Amino acid sequence: MEIKVLGMGCANCNQLEMDVFNVLAEMNVDAEVEKVEDVQKIMSYKVMGMPALVINGKVKVAGRVPKSAEIKRFITEEM
């Protein structure tokens, strides 16, 4: 599973990255997590707000930090 957190390093972006790692540990799921801060790469996902969460190439949420339960659901959907 490939997970990307899109964001420029703001507090919400950092929070989402931390939440993703916490959920993965809680679920005992192995995934490759990448924080994408490059503007060109972020623009390639056509998201208008940050932070954004991309799992297996699909934008799951943008412009807000999802709750842990939502992140779990997104991960489960992609397993």
The residues that are catalytic are 10, 13
Pair 58, 50: CB distance under 8 Å: no
Please state the φ and ψ torsions of residue 26, each to the nearest 5 degrees.
-65, -40
19 three-class SS: helix
